[in-house]
Structure 1
Amino acid sequence: MTMDRVTITDDLSFSRIVYGMWRLGDDKDTSPAHVQAKIEACLEQGITTMDQADIYGGYMAEEILGNALTTDLKDRIEIVTKCDIVEGMGRHEGKARIKHYDTSRRHIEESVDASLRLMGVEKIDLLLIHRPDPLMDHHETGAALDDLVSSGKVRAVGVSNFKPHDFTLLQSAMKTQLATNQIEMSLSCIAPFTNGDLAFLQERGLPPMAWSPLGGGNLMTGKAGHGHLRTRLAEIAHEQDTEMSAVAVAWLLRHPSGILPVMGTNTLDRIRQLSDAARIEMDRQTWFELYTLALGHDVP
């Protein structure tokens, strides 16, 4: 199956839907064969981009992925990973007395080397700074990211959870264009659509990545409330012979900025349905209908 692709840099593109590996280490079965089955299920739908982070799975998810990556699979996927969160577990156990961020050159370079080794790859397609660091020296961080690109260890760099002012601060000290910002966006997290976070990226022609596009699953379970929203999602899903989750993701895909939803699930049947969202038709009024239900009131 073919899927739309989004240009990240001149020599790099991602599948419109990204498979998120945040919970990869939470699965009861983390064997190479099972992880390979998940990747193959993605590839059958044209989903080629895998989203990782050094801290996922208590700093174990990258290794779980690496154990499953055959030479063939490495050639067929793009890998996103992240760094800068330091917590006293995994390789940082006994070294971090408090959870913190580290955007120093040394930490970034050591994190990248560890990611390359654990995943068994020669290059990371996209490296993201995971969280804004209030102690960041933007000149040091920017130079480290530029050097990683020029060294060939990293193809492109970006950020995650940055506000526009954090983004421009880091970019001001860099030669390389930051390629994206991965932020939380969903029908249960609609603030980026009006607070400037999304407009900032759209103005610059930078494709946004959306983590937790189903509100951590709460949209589907009702834990986040939004009873009327869930009812309408169910109605649209029935009309288009699909699942509620696909409609919620299609709502993100409808936005003209080219949002890339990062979808995370360990269930093979659900993985096989991730591309359903790309087939859903959604007109402007339906988009605003869901947006209004998420707001809880009419637009002004």
Structure 2
Amino acid sequence: MQSGRKQLTKDLSFSTFIHGYWRLKDWEYSQDEILNLLQQGLDLGITTIDHADIYGDYECETLFGKALANKSSLRSQLELVSKCGIKLLSEKYPERSVKSYDLSYDHIVGSTEQSLKNLQTDYLDVLLLHRPSPLYDPGEVARAFDHLKQSGKVRYFGVSNFTPQQTQTLQSYLDQDLITNQIEISVNCLEHFDNGNIDYLLEKRMHPMAWSPLAGGKLFSAANKDRVPLLEVIHNIAGELNTDIATIMYAWLLKHPVGIMPIVGSGKIERLKAAVRAQEINLSDEHWFRIYEAKLGHEVA
């Protein structure tokens, strides 16, 4: 079975499942192993790749780019996404004294050009602002986006971890539509059902990218007692449908009509296969609400 697809614009679609490479440095893969994983993902229909400038202490993009350069013909089969805007404390930047956000024209353009160099590509399919900044000028962002679009360095733009109001405010300054918001969504994180983001995304026909769709693995250990009821419900449904809990957690996301695109951040092909299998699961409305209610801790009002 292959990953389905989600249409974001008239000429851009993403694979329903997105492969996240934020742990690439930790995998300690050779260039051949990275290429093999990438190809196996493509065989599953997973064509969309998620990066950010800061991942792996600013090294993951370079590791990926070096591998991709060994088989550059794969670039045309991929949708490359990267993010910018966070300045981490790092030995690579000894002049920094505090973690901060920078959404200035110079930083957005400079970071994007560095990402292109690291990834060894001429363009990004989508650039996301990694976090909203309390100290940013939307006009600066608009100017940077215009430059990157007109120069052919970025095809489309989006945001990450933005609230509905923050997205709407930025959009009001832009000539082009923001096409996605990468946010945390899982059976264990209902924040965006409560803050209006899911409703906003439905209104704007925007498909969100979901980071940490398996709740960062927290549920698998059940170390925290307040998660036991939720885990028990997921286990029970997995038994009823003859599958595993990870697949149920993905299926719960896929059922929502907003068109969630989960980011699978594993370097193991079996984890990618398990994610794609979620498309075969016939999760009923009752299944979905049993999980939702278990996380709420009470029945819906």
TM-score by length of 1: 0.95
CA distance in 2, matches of 1:239, 1:36: 37
One-letter amino acid matched to 1:223: A
One-letter amino acid matched to 1:171: Q
Identical-residue share of aligned pairs (%): 40
Name the structure 2 match of 1:58: 57
SS in 1 for 2:179: coil
Matched, 1:208 2:208: yes
Q: Which runs of 5+ in 2 are unaligned?
A: none
One-letter amino acid matched to 1:229: L
One-letter amino acid matched to 2:189: C
SS in 2 for 1:293: helix
CA distance in 1, matches of 2:274, 2:286: 25
CA distance in 2, matches of 1:240, 1:42: 25
Post-superposition offset of 1:242: 2.4
Post-superposition offset of 1:269: 2.5
Name the structure 1 match of 2:235: 234
Name the structure 2 match of 1:219: 219
CA distance in 2, matches of 1:9, 1:154: 14
Name the structure 1 match of 2:282: 281
Q: More deviation in 206-215 or 261-270?
A: 261-270
CA distance in 1, matches of 2:127, 2:83: 6
One-letter amino acid matched to 1:189: C
Contact 2:16 2:262 in 1 (8 A): yes
Matched, 1:96 2:96: yes
> Once the two structures are superposed, what CA deviation does each residue of 1:215-267 show, in whole Å capped at 9, x if it has no partner?
11112221354212212222322333322111001101100000111111122
CA distance in 2, matches of 1:242, 1:72: 36
Name the structure 2 match of 1:86: 87
TM-score by length of 2: 0.95
SS in 2 for 1:132: coil
Name the structure 2 match of 1:184: 184
Post-superposition offset of 1:272: 3.1
Alignment RMSD: 1.4
> Once the two structures are superposed, what CA deviation does each residue of 1:169-207 show, in whole Å capped at 9, x if it has no partner?
211111010111111111110121132011111111011
> Once the two structures are superposed, what CA deviation does each residue of 1:74-123 show, in whole Å capped at 9, x if it has no partner?
121111100010113264x2132111010011111111111001111111
Contact 2:123 2:154 in 1 (8 A): yes
Name the structure 2 match of 1:73: 74
TM alignment of 1:163-182, pairs within 5 A: 163-182=163-182
Name the structure 2 match of 1:37: 36
Contact 1:9 1:156 in 2 (8 A): no
Q: Which runs of 5+ in 1 are unaligned?
A: none
CA distance in 1, matches of 2:24, 2:106: 27
One-letter amino acid matched to 1:66: G
TM alignment of 1:255-270, pairs within 5 A: 255-270=256-271
Post-superposition offset of 1:33: 1.2
Aligned residues: 298
One-letter amino acid matched to 1:255: H
One-letter amino acid matched to 2:36: A
CA distance in 1, matches of 2:203, 2:128: 20
One-letter amino acid matched to 1:204: K
SS in 1 for 2:183: strand
Contact 1:50 1:78 in 2 (8 A): yes
Post-superposition offset of 1:4: 1.9
Contact 1:30 1:64 in 2 (8 A): no
Post-superposition offset of 1:3: 2.8
CA distance in 2, matches of 1:19, 1:59: 18
Name the structure 2 match of 1:272: 273
Give runs of ≥4 in structure 1 deviating > 6 Å: none
Contact 1:60 1:90 in 2 (8 A): no
Name the structure 2 match of 1:155: 155
CA distance in 2, matches of 1:237, 1:39: 29
Contact 1:41 1:272 in 2 (8 A): no
CA distance in 2, matches of 1:125, 1:243: 33
One-letter amino acid matched to 1:144: A
SS in 1 for 2:283: coil
SS in 2 for 1:144: helix
SS in 2 for 1:281: coil
